[in-house]
Amino acid sequence: RKEVEQDPGPFNVPEGATVAFNCTYSNSASQSFFWYRQDCRKEPKLLMSVYSSGNEDGRFTAQLNRASQYISLLIRDSKLSDSATYLCVVIDNNNDMRFGAGTRLTVKP
Amino acid sequence: NAGVTQTPKFQVLKTGQSMTLQCAQDMNHEYMSWYRQDPGMGLRLIHYSVGAGITDQGEVPNGYNVSRSTTEDFPLRLLSAAPSQTSVYFCASSYYRGAGADTQYFGPGTRLTVL
């Protein structure tokens, strides 16, 4: 079983749609949680951290459920520029970053 | 301040050839790491270093060597390339191991094809 699992998609949505991505992790001792964005043929870049209390950054909302070992990312009012692959990332109890395989999003006009 | 730089951007090798992927950072980061990214697999840790002179294996170290003679540089060596090493390689650095992702910096990647 992979340590971090994501629905690979692809998700194809129209502009203005709301889309949600899910992620589960297997190591209950994991410490920190993040969403990264990766554009085609580019390096991953941090989108936002994920806190137990949930956090919001503009159109993006991240949630963490430690009991279910589940992380989510909600994107509201999708823009064409949101098209990318979204990576779920967990820092485990060895302080190593564990990456999900990513969920691909395409926003269409 | 260039951040994390990697060379080359692209490389094609024949099976059995050797090469070194270069990684350098100018942020005085102690922790540096190498990942490979394959379709459907996510990024996987190959080797890491917590400071000059100290290296250790990650999740998928076989077929790769590293050294860390300076704080700035962390080269990755393929001693005898195999087609299974065809991948995109990312170098990353941060102040310390386990630093939050908001202080982790990735290089632009090296696309390697082994024929």
- Summarised one tens digit per residue, pLDDT across range B52-84 is 999 999 999 999 999 999 999 999 999 999 999
How far does A10 lie from chain B, in Å, by closest CA? 12
Neighbours of B30 (CB within 10 A): 17
B98 touches chain A (CB under 8 A): yes
- Residue A19's alpha-carbon distances to A14, A15, A75, B112, in angstroms, are 10, 10, 5, 34
Chain A CA closest to residue B105: A45
As a whole number of angstroms, the distance between CA B102 and CA A49 comes to 8
Q: Strand, helix or coil at A41?
A: coil
Chain A CA closest to residue B104: A46
B90 touches chain A (CB under 8 A): yes
φ, ψ of residue B63 in degrees (nearest 5): 95, 0
How far does B40 lie from chain A, in Å, by closest CA? 5
φ, ψ of residue A18 in degrees (nearest 5): -105, 135
Chain A CA closest to residue B96: A95
Token reading at B76: 């990755």
Chain B CA closest to residue A97: B98
Q: Over chain A, what is the mean pLDDT?
A: 93
B40 touches chain A (CB under 8 A): yes
B10 touches chain A (CB under 8 A): no
Give yes or no for a cis peptide into B61 (omega within 30° of 0).
no
Lowest-pLDDT range of A54-63, B39-48, B96-105: B96-105
Reply yes or no on whether the pLDDT at B6 is more than 90. Answer: yes
Reply yes or no on whether the pLDDT at A61 is more than 90. Answer: yes
Q: Determine the pLDDT at residue A54.
A: 87
Q: Determine the pLDDT at residue A56.
A: 94
Q: Is A49 in contact with B100 (Cβ distance < 8 A)?
A: yes
A63 CA to centre of own chain = 10
A91 touches chain B (CB under 8 A): yes
Reply yes or no on whether the pLDDT at A102 is more than 80. Answer: yes
Q: Determine the pLDDT at residue A27.
A: 92
Which 8-state DSSP code applies to residue A54? -
Q: Is A49 in contact with B101 (Cβ distance < 8 A)?
A: yes
Higher pLDDT residue, A51 or B15?
B15
